[in-house]
Amino acid sequence: MPATPHVEKHFTASESVRDVVIGMADGLTVPFALAAGLSAAVVSTDVIVTAGLAEVVAGAIAMGLGGYLAARTDAEHYAAEERRENEEIDHLHEKEIAEVETIFRDYGLQGRALEDVVNSIASDRKRWVDFMMRFELGLERPDPKRAPISAATIGGSYIVGGLIPLVPYMLAHQITTALQISVASTGVALLCFGAIKGHFTGMNKMKAALQTLLVGGLAAGAAYWLAHLFG
């Protein structure tokens, strides 16, 4: 009888997926809360649209810049640790050899097998440094082009998410009608986004969708209540 092939279904969320999640999460929530809050304090949809678009632009720039700086910081941190590992190999050679042995000994290697593996890694300096970066420090070499890509992805996702709650105010002139449509459309968007996020992160889709909706709803509800209270 032929054996059933084993297919592993692991998923590791990529950096791009993470950036989309960051941008969309804030993009859907912050402008939605702002628009809902202003709906209780102003009488013109034009004011809400103007304030909302200003927030979306400012938020996209701030979030994108934050993503850029975070990616640059990761790259600079990796480069600094890589230089340190090279210096330690030069000046603390035996100590670095012992660290490699310790790592493999924790995986069960002993005796001649351990000696052969350690000698093989130590025979190639680049391979040795890469090994220490990954298995001693837990660092992966970052993509040198990551910073601008991360900035564009986060900023673009924020804009897309931020426009969803604002479009109803652009199309409807009655604030009450626009608010109702905005709540409905943003609620659906939050549910869909949460489910998609759950799919890519391995979380239960229904749970992720409801959590995302709850966060967005609480933020918008609090903003609306405060604006109504003080308005």
What per-residue confidence (pLDDT) applies to 228? 64
Dist CA 51 CA 151 (whole Å): 23
Residue carrying the six token digits 């297919």: 7
Which of 90, 126, 118, 83 minimizes the C-alpha distance to 102? 118
What per-residue confidence (pLDDT) applies to 230? 64
What per-residue confidence (pLDDT) applies to 151? 92
What per-residue confidence (pLDDT) applies to 117? 85
What per-residue confidence (pLDDT) applies to 153? 92
Which of 101, 119, 120, 99 minimizes the C-alpha distance to 109? 101
What per-residue confidence (pLDDT) applies to 168? 92
Rg (Cα) of the chain, in Å, rounded?
25
Contacts of residues 121-127 at CB distance under 8 Å and 24 or more positions apart, as own/partner, are: 122/97, 125/86, 125/89
What per-residue confidence (pLDDT) applies to 6? 43
The pLDDT averaged over each successive group of 10 residues in the chain (231 residues) is: 46 69 84 84 87 93 92 89 87 85 82 84 86 84 86 93 92 89 88 80 81 78 70 56
Sign of CA dihedral 81, 87, 92, 96: positive
What per-residue confidence (pLDDT) applies to 1? 42
Chain centroid to Cα 191, Å, comes to 18
What per-residue confidence (pLDDT) applies to 163? 93
What per-residue confidence (pLDDT) applies to 123? 85
